[in-house]
Amino acid sequence: MAIPITEATGLVSLGAIQTAAETLRSVAVRTPLLRAADLSEELRATVLLKPEMLQRSGAFKFRGAYSFLSSLTPAERVRGVIAPSSGNHAQAVALAARLFGVKAIVVMPTTVTAAKRSGAERLGARVVLAGTTTQDRMDKAVEISEAEGATLVPPFDDRRIIAGQGTVGLEIVEDLPSVGTVLVPVGGGGLSAGVAAAVKQLRPGARVVGVEPAGAAKLTAARAAGGPVTLPSTGSIADGLMSIRIGTIPFAHHEAFLDDVVTVDDDAIVRAMRHLIDRCKLVAEPSGAITLAALMEGKVVPRGETVAILSGGNIEWPGLSALLDA
């Protein structure tokens, strides 16, 4: 299925995101908007949560992975797929591949959490470990793709992936037409690009703010430099957001649609995770809690009805208890 793009810009169109939504309608979870009552009272604003930890495979990544695999030809599906991933993309591709009857290989970091590795294996993927950086994983994935003929499924730097992730933003506006502010995590940029594209094309007056770890501020650096730059290193408990470079295609979407980007530190993320468990009864991985952290720390002041996207909840019990007991 071809993904249309906006004329002359190369940006994913609203129509592309709506097409992805139709593709996902019978397979993905339409996650709800939940009111964060305590935080709304504290901030004197309406704050709602978009809990993508309730999505299949435990994170938003299933949306993009399934959208991508739906576009493959029968011949490509026979050869299988391969995906470089810190964890959530791997599980999403593994699940999408299983649904399409396609073999999947995933390349994960040597530091991958037990929950994310076992999740990919449980879904039938062959797991290969390679280094600790995004580039390490991509290099290994390209090597295997060339050797075995498998189609590479990019984690974020692809219009089909962006269109699928953009369905998160589409649902927000459909369910809350009066939305004033949307906070979205920033890793490689697929989710933030898609959400910003959907929200701004439907509600130009709404504000979309990206949130990234202080120790992995690749979009902040790219905006300062006028284009994607490679960070020498990254460090954060938010392992899903530790890309050392923002994607080229996502960055173009950020420039067109994203109003601002802010950073938060790891201590703030832990406080947000605790708040989600104690007050909202939701378990988020660090990457998933970062948007709430930005609100709780005052990095983003709500303007109108405000939605914080909780991008995922793939964290094993030992890891969760270690963070919360620290």
Active site members: 61, 311
Give the amino acid at 5: I
Q: What is the dihedral of CA 38, 44, 46, 49, to 10 degrees?
A: -40
- On whether the CB atoms of residues 207 and 258 are closer than 8 A, the answer is no
Euclidean distance between CA atoms 16 and 143, whole angstroms: 31
Give the amino acid at 164: G
Euclidean distance between CA atoms 236 and 16, whole angstroms: 33
- On whether the CB atoms of residues 48 and 305 are closer than 8 A, the answer is yes
- On whether the CB atoms of residues 263 and 290 are closer than 8 A, the answer is no
Long-range CB contacts (within 8 A, 24+) of 104-112: 104/80, 105/80, 105/81, 105/144, 105/148, 105/150, 106/82, 107/82, 107/83, 107/137, 107/140, 107/141, 107/144, 108/137, 109/133, 109/136, 109/137, 111/239, 112/86, 112/87
Look up residue 271 and give its two tokens.
């406080």
SS3 content of the chain, % helix, strand, coil (to 5): 50, 15, 35
Element (H, E) at 51: strand 47-51
Euclidean distance between CA atoms 160 and 163, whole angstroms: 5
Helices 266-275, 317-325: inter-axial angle, 10-degree rounding: 110
